[in-house]
Structure formats: C-alpha cells, structure tokens
C-alpha cells in the first residue's frame, strides 16, 4: 500500500493542504518550525487516529478553528484505491450534532463506527525524536508502544483494551463514591466482586497477547541492536505485569511443551481456555488481596493498566543505566522490530516515516535504518536535503526520490 495524496484541513499550522506524493521516497526539507513534522503527523493521524506527539486532539486543531480533518488517498497492493479520513471536532463545531466533542472516521466516504475497524487498514511506522521516551521515560510510553503495535495487527486487541478501560473507569468511580458515602461499604464487596471478576477475565486475554508480542519484540530488537552495535552489547526486553502471572504462564507453556506453538501458531481452543483460566484466577486473587488498600486510597492500585516492558542492556534496565547514545540505538532497534513484526503479520509493507532523525544518528545507525526500508514508501523530514545524499545513493533511490520544500506551512514540489 502507498499514499497517492494527503489532505489536511485545520490541522496544526495548515488551514488547507492537498498534496500529491510519490510512491517511493519523499523528502520534506526546510528550516525548523515550518510545518514538516506537522505534515507527517497528519499522515500518521489519518492512518492511526492517534498522534505520536500528543494525546490531546484539541492540540491538533489550528488556532481559532473547531475541528480538524486528515485524509489519505491510497492504492492497495492489488491496485485498488482506498480513501481514509480521520476527523476530530469540538462541541462548537458544525460537525457536532449533540453539543459534544467527537470523532468522525470515514472509509471511501462511508462512516466507520468502530475504531478497531479503521486501525490497520493503512499501517505506518514512524521513527521520531519522541521515541526516546519509550526507553527512558515512564511505563505509559512503553505500554503505548506495545498497545499500538498489537492493535495494528489485531483489531480484537483494541476492543479488549477499550472494554478494560471502561470497566476500570466504572470500578474507579465506585471507589470514589465510597470516599464520600459511608453507607456504601456494606455493598462494596458485592459490587467490587463483579468489577474485579470482569477485569480479571479481560486481563488474562490482554496478558497473553502482550507477553507474546513482547517476546517477539525482544527477539527482533536484540538482532537489530546487535547489528547496529557490532555485537558489543546485548539488548533484551521483559514483559512485567502482576506478580506471579508471567511465571505461571511460562510454567504452563514449558510443562506442556507449548511455547513454540503459542509463539508461532497460537494455542488450541482447549489449551487457550486452560491458560486463560489460570491467569484470570491469579489476577482475581491479586485484585482481592489489595481490595482494602484500594478502598482506603480510592484507587485501583494493581492491574494490567500498570504493565511495563523492561528494556535491558547487558542485564541492566536502560531507564536507569544508559547513555543517550545507547538509548537512541535501543529506540532504533525497537522501531525496526515494529516494522519487521508488521511485515510478518500483514501482507502489505508498512509505510515508513522518518521525522528529523537522520541528524541524530551516526553513519552506522543510518546505514542500519536505510537497509530495512527497501520495499516501503518513505517520508523523510530534514533541514538540509543534501545531508541524506549518501543514503539516497546507497539505496539507489535517486531516480525515485521526490523533494518538497516546506516553508511557513506552504509546500513546493521540486521538478
């Protein structure tokens, strides 16, 4: 799949943009703060709904406006054309029919009611300076990386996450009501039993997917990291969730000789049901064990909403023990593993966006990055188009590369 044209309305610094692009390599260059990153962010939002830079849709709306729209005209691998459109509107927008903010998703001008039916139609992998947050910052960044990758491959996973978030919000609302209503504790156990049972059941399914993909990421990221670093350091990733759960899962897979089947083909319905039941019981027992604490503090202190993937270099957690150069290499390895995993599960090659990263990488890292991009449509942003001339020659891109100069939100295609 590749993008033929991009359409932005009231998005960041773009009032209206309609841009035709090439099917191979597209270089967007210009000074800083001219709109290069905003453009590729718009491409990513059109395909993935969420931004890689902010969690607030309001931040994406052009100042003074009440909605934004991003759209892509695409050609699929079979030659068929597809149009995707992702819009967000505030309660003041003409798009709002009930006085509330909301989202409008379209495929070929027909509404798409469920986000899970939209994500994964067009897969894009973006590598940007913000990706260092995956390595060095809070678990939320790593959960987002893992959740986004799995959702692109498995729409049912996105539905599981949505259901879990709704149940957790309802449980938290009950815990807050207990804070202000002293007559409720007598009913609390009965109601919390219901929420915890439902959360434990969903948690088991989410854990199974997260564990599997964390293992795949670890294997592939370790391979890419070894290539980039010349084998001098060993990168590994460990999935961290509710205490005892990973151990129980690994014991089940090892004892029953099911690890390879689980990782590569998927468990049989009977085996899946057995391990899901084991994990669900463990999660439920843990939720009940902290119930008094949760009631006292009015929070859900334990659950998969606090999961993490621990990124280690030579056995040490990189969040605490790593240089910026090591973090940058690890982030690059993670992104290359994301690209490879999507290729493994999805028939079409993902589109690749490289947002202002070439200036941050040395020659070895840049060579490792471009060597993985031979089949993809690529968008590269930079301040100086000449800085990536060596990579263009290395990949044989010269005849297929399109250049676009970006200046104050206006884009000029070079002949």
Does 333 reside within a domain? no
pLDDT at 405: 95
| pLDDT at 218 (0 to 100) | 96
Tokens at residue 142, please?
């790593």
Q: Choose one of 285, 306, 327: the last residue of a domain.
A: 306
Question: Whole-angstrom Cα distance, residue 32 to residue 355?
Answer: 12
Q: Which residues, 6+ apart, have CB-to-CB distance to 201 below 8 Å?
A: 280
| Per-residue model confidence (pLDDT) at position 185 | 57
pLDDT score for 155: 87
Confidence of residue 135 (pLDDT cuts 50, 70, 90): very high
Residue 150 in any domain: the answer is yes
Query: pLDDT > 70: what percent of the chain?
Result: 94
The reply to whether 181 and 301 lie within a common domain is yes
């006292």: which residue's tokens?
296
Q: Would you say residue 363 lies in a domain?
A: yes
The verdict on 295 and 385 lying in the same domain is no
- Phi, psi for 377 (deg, rounded to 5): -75, 135
Q: How far are the Cα atoms of 85, 91, 114, 241 from residue 109, in angstroms, in the given order?
A: 8, 22, 15, 41
Of 314 and 387, more confident: 314
Q: Domain count of the chain?
A: 2
Res 209 pLDDT > 70: yes
Domain boundary among 252, 283, 306: 306
In a domain, residue 133? The reply is no
Task: Give 361-387 pLDDT, tens digit per residue.
Answer: 777 777 777 776 767 899 999 888 877
Examine the domain organization and report whether 150 and 67 are in the same domain: no
Q: The pTM is what?
A: 0.91
DSSP state of 61: B
The pLDDT mean for the chain works out to: 91
Question: What's the average model confidence in pLDDT over 355-360?
Answer: 79
In angstroms, what is the C-alpha Rg of the chain?
23
- Describe the strand order of the beta sheet including 401-407 as a list of residue ranges: 124-127, 351-355, 378-382, 25-29, 401-407, 410-413
**What is the phi/psi pair of residue 316, to 5°?**
-110, 140
- Which tops the pLDDT comparison, 200 or 415? 200
- Average of per-residue pLDDT across 325-346: 90
In-domain check, residue 323? no
At residue 281, does pLDDT exceed 90?
A: yes
Between helices 185-229 and 139-153, what is the axis angle to 10°? 80
Is there a single domain that holds both residue 66 and residue 182? no
- Better-predicted residue by pLDDT, 384 or 221: 221
Q: Could you tell me the CATH number of the domain that includes residue 60?
A: 3.40.50.300
Same domain, 47 and 90: yes
Say if residue 354 is in the same domain as residue 248: no
Whether 146 shows a pLDDT value over 70: the answer reads yes
- Assess whether pLDDT exceeds 70 at residue 399: no
Give the span between the Cα atoms of 287 and 193, in whole angstroms.
Answer: 9
Same-domain check for residues 119 and 155: no
Residue 88 above 90 pLDDT? Answer: yes
Flag whether pLDDT at 396 surpasses 70: no
Residue 375 lies in a domain: yes
> Are residues 91 and 201 both part of a single domain?
no
Structure-block tokens of residue 212: 């599997």
Instruction: Specify whether 180 is located in the same domain as 117.
Output: no
- Tell me: do 163 and 298 sit in the same domain: yes
Higher-confidence residue: 113 or 374?
A: 113
Phi, psi of 243 (to 5 degrees): -55, 130
The model's pLDDT over 10-46, given as tens digits with 9 standing for 90+, comes to: 999 999 999 999 998 899 999 999 999 999 999 999 9
Q: Is residue 178 part of a domain?
A: yes
Token pair of 13 as six digits: 């610094």
Q: Is the pLDDT at 164 greater than 90, yes or no?
A: yes
Same domain, 70 and 213: no
The whole-number pLDDT of residue 376 equals 82
Q: Which residue has the higher pLDDT, 228 or 197?
A: 197
End-to-end CA gap in the chain: 25
> DSSP class of residue 350?
P
Per-residue pLDDT, 183: 56
Range of the domain at 256: 145-306
* 194 and 74 in a common domain: no
Question: Is residue 338 included in any domain, yes or no?
Answer: no
Q: Is the pLDDT of residue 337 over 60?
A: yes
Residue 414 has pLDDT above 80, yes or no: yes
């Amino acid at each position: 799949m590749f993008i033929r044209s991009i359409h932005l309305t009231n998005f960041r610094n773009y009032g209206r943009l309609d841009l035709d692009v090439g099917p191979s390599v597209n270089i967007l260059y210009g000074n800083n703060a001219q709109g290069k990153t905003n453009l590729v962010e718009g491409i990513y939002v059109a395909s993935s709904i969420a931004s890689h830079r902010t969690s607030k849709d309001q931040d994406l709306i052009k100042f003074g406006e009440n909605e934004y729209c991003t759209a892509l005209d695409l050609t699929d691998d079979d030659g068929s054309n597809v149009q995707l459109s992702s819009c967000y509107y505030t309660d003041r927008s003409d798009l709002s029919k009930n006085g509330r903010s909301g989202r409008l998703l379209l495929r070929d001008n027909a509404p798409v009611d469920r986000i899970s039916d939209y994500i994964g139609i067009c897969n894009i992998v973006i590598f940007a300076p913000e990706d260092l947050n995956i390595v060095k910052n809070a678990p939320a960044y790593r959960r987002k990386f893992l959740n986004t990758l799995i959702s692109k491959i498995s729409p049912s996973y996105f539905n599981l996450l949505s259901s879990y978030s709704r149940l957790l919000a309802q449980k938290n609302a009950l815990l807050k009501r207990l804070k202000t209503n002293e007559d409720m504790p007598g009913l609390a156990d009965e109601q919390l039993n219901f929420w915890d049972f439902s959360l434990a059941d969903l948690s088991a399914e989410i854990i199974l997917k997260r564990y599997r993909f964390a293992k795949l990421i670890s294997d592939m990221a370790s391979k890419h990291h070894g290539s980039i670093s010349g084998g001098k350091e060993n990168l590994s990733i460990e999935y961290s969730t509710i205490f005892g759960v990973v151990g129980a899962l690994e014991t089940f897979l090892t004892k029953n000789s099911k690890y390879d089947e689980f990782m590569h083909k998927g468990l049989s319905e009977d085996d899946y049901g057995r391990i899901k039941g084991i994990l669900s019981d463990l999660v439920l027992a843990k939720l009940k064990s902290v119930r008094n604490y949760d009631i006292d503090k009015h929070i859900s202190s334990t659950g998969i909403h606090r999961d993490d993937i621990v990124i280690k270099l030579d056995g040490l957690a990189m969040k605490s023990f790593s240089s910026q150069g090591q973090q940058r290499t690890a982030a690059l390895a993670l992104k290359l593993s994301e690209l490879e995993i999507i290729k493994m599960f999805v028939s079409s090659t993902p589109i690749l966006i490289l947002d202002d990263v070439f200036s941050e990488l040395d020659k070895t890292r840049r060579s490792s990055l471009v060597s993985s991009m031979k089949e993809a449509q690529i968008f590269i942003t930079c301040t100086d188009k000449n800085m990536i001339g060596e990579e263009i020659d290395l990949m044989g891109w010269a005849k297929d590369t399109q250049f676009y100069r970006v200046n104050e939100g206006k884009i000029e295609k070079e002949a």
